């Protein structure tokens, strides 16, 4: 009797893990581009970039789980205002580039290789978190229909996926074939990417993530 039950539980756990992984990947492809662009910036530490992405992943999962458990008691939240975070940061970075045109030539190569400050990593984390509203929107109903025994399975699958995505982004940023291209274009592409992401989030209709 126990063998069929165990097999059924295992199959269900694998199905949930696969669904969680696919859901997380599908809503974080844009974050993969952001990770690659940040990873290629001089002075960025790959370990910190990976750690921040995993931290954001866990935060998103905890928020989604909390919302799923409180879906019947909390009002609908308009998540589009989170788009102001990447929009503001992208505009600020673009303004810095426009005001500091030609600074790379005058400052020399050593200055650009200094370590990135804690504030920059904090801003990076906020951008990833703001851009993860779609992940909250898809993970919340998943947690709402999930049996308590499979919550850890869902967490493990999503976190593992985040680690793999962060490793892929680091590979794209550090590989000789792509590093030079990302370094040359990344500092200009990243601000516009952040602004575009912010506009997409902000102009989207309110996310009724609590309604079924």
Let me know the angle formed at the C-alpha of 115 by 111 and 119, rounded to the nearest 5 degrees: 115
Could you read off the pLDDT of 100-149 as tens digits, one per residue? 754 444 444 444 455 677 788 888 888 888 888 778 877 887 887 778 88
For residue 127, the tally of other CB atoms under 10 A from its CB is 27
Spatial distance between the Cα atoms of 134 and 207, rounded to a whole number of angstroms: 9
Structure tokens at 9: 């539980």
pLDDT band, residue 76 (cuts 50/70/90): low
Radius of gyration of the chain (CA): 20
Cβ(35)–Cβ(165) below 8 Å: yes
User: Could you tell me the sign of the dihedral formed by the alpha carbons of 196, 198, 200, 203, in that order?
Assistant: negative
Alpha helices in 100-205 (DSSP H): 103-107, 118-130, 133-144, 151-174, 176-203
Q: Provide the residue ranges of all domains of the chain, joining segments of one domain with +.
A: 2-203
Task: From residue 41, give the alpha-carbon distance in Å to each of 27, 31, 67, 79, 97.
Answer: 24, 16, 35, 29, 14
Question: 115: which residues sit within 8 A by CB, 6+ positions away?
Answer: 43, 45
35, pLDDT greater than 80? yes
More confident site: 163 or 71: 163
Structure tokens at 166: 């962060």
Query: What size, in residues, is the chain?
Result: 212
Could you read off the pLDDT of 194-207 as tens digits, one per residue? 787 677 667 764 34
């Amino acid at each position: 009797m126990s063998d069929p039950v165990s097999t059924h539980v295992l199959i269900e756990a694998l199905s949930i893990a696969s669904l969680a992984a696919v859901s997380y990947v599908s809503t974080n492809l844009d974050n993969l581009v952001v990770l690659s662009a940040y990873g290629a910036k001089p002075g960025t530490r790959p370990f910190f970039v990976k750690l921040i992405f995993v931290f954001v992943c866990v935060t998103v999962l905890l928020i989604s789980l909390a919302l799923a458990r409180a879906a019947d008691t909390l009002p609908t939240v308009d998540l589009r205002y989170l788009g102001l975070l990447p929009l503001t940061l992208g505009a600020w970075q673009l303004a810095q580039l426009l005001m500091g045109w030609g600074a790379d030539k005058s400052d020399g190569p050593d200055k650009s290789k200094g370590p990135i400050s804690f504030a920059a990593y904090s801003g990076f984390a906020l951008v990833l978190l703001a851009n993860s509203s779609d992940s909250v929107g898809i993970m919340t109903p998943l947690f709402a229909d999930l049996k308590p025994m499979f919550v850890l399975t869902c967490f493990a699958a999503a976190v593992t996926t985040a680690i793999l995505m962060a490793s892929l982004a680091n590979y794209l940023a550090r590989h000789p074939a792509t590093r030079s291209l990302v370094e040359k274009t990344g500092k200009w592409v990243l601000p516009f990417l952040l602004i575009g992401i912010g506009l997409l989030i902000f102009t989207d209709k309110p996310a009724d993530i609590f309604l079924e």
